Amino acid sequence: MASSSSSGLTFKLHPLVIVNISDHYTRVKSQLNPPPLTSTSATVNGVENQQQAPRVYGCVIGVQRGRTVEIFNSFELLYDPSTHSLDRPFLKKKQELYKKVFPHFYILGWYSTGSDAQESDMHIHRALMDINESPLYVLLNPAINPTQKDLPVTIYESELHVIDGIPQLIFVRSSYTIETVEAERISVDHVAHLKPSDGGSAATQLAAHLTGIHSAIKMLNSRIRVLHHYLVGMQKGDIPCENSLLRQVSSLLRRLPAIESEKFQDDFLMEYNDTLLITYLAMFTNCSSTMNELVDKFNTAYDRHSRRGGRTAFI
């Protein structure tokens, strides 16, 4: 069903679409709790999991400029299980509304969730072909796989292939790149850093912070290594000298060491000492309050023996 696409279109996907699809899926899934005993959801029969993961559907919109297709946004659609098609009047209404706000956006295709493209999806795909001659099918796999390194999103196009003498439309997978606007970058960054707060303890937060710095330095390291390799190659004569690059590298290297003035050392040490002092002070306060509590408990516990029939002074 899925081979590599040959249409030559380049796809650019915005993170907003991915967040929308996953949000839609999460909402529907959590609203199904407790799950219905009778399977009334419109999923494909005979799914392997016990709990039928609900499938959500919607439309993706964006811009197509020449050979580049950029998918900006998406919205949800209702799926009618009886007719195996999407809700057309709603789609038209939404299309008009979006056209008013974003006049340049066209409906580029549709999305759904699941692990793989199914045969029944072709019906929906064909139905959308009257809006867009070659719609896209964006599939999000909601199964969480911790070992997987790339996004579980695939974009399928439809191509006419001749199979067994019959020309058929099949889905072919296409590659895509992620394109971000500044606002999207900020929100994705924010969400990515949200994890450690529910970890709570100081050690995990410190570890998370250090891990972030570690990966940043590792990236810098790999890039410096590439430059180093390149220069060594140039010195040995394997690579022809490119003067403009050498000039840029020399100007870059002249910026090192980046911070070495005396004033920096002073400020840095002062701030370091301040932090240490405050930690020490906090520790002191903690200790003295614990000591105070201990003394109180001691008094209450052991004072009683001497209190028989008389009063003793408080320690």
Question: Binding residues for another protein, per CB under 8 A?
Answer: 201-204, 206-207, 210-211, 213-214, 217-218, 220-221, 224-225, 227-228, 231-232, 234-235, 243-244, 246-251, 253-256, 261, 297, 300-301, 304, 308
Q: Minimum Å distance from CB 20 to another protein?
A: 35
Q: Which is nearer to another protein, 162 or 202 (CB)?
A: 202
d(CA 170, CA 164): 13
Residues 6+ apart with CB under 8 A from 156: 2, 117, 136, 137, 138, 139, 171, 172, 173, 174
Which is closer to another protein, CB of 163 or CB of 253?
A: 253
- Our CA angle for 232, 234, 239, nearest 5°, is 125
In the complex, the smallest distance separating the C-beta of residue 193 from another protein, rounded to whole angstroms, is 17
Tokens of 264: 């920096």
Query: Nearest to residue 84, comparing CAs of 55, 107, 48?
Result: 55
Instruction: State which residue, 148 or 221, has the beta carbon closest to another protein.
Output: 221
Q: Nearest distance from residue 139's CB to another protein, in Å?
A: 37
Q: How far apart are CA 231 and CA 249, in angstroms?
A: 9
Residue among 126 and 193 whose Cβ is closer to another protein? 193
Partner residues linked to 299 by β-bridges: none
CB of 216: closest distance to another protein in angstroms? 10
CB of 306 to another protein, least distance (A): 13
- What residues have CB less than 8 Å from 133, skipping those under 6 apart? none
| Residue number with CB closer to another protein (84 or 228) | 228
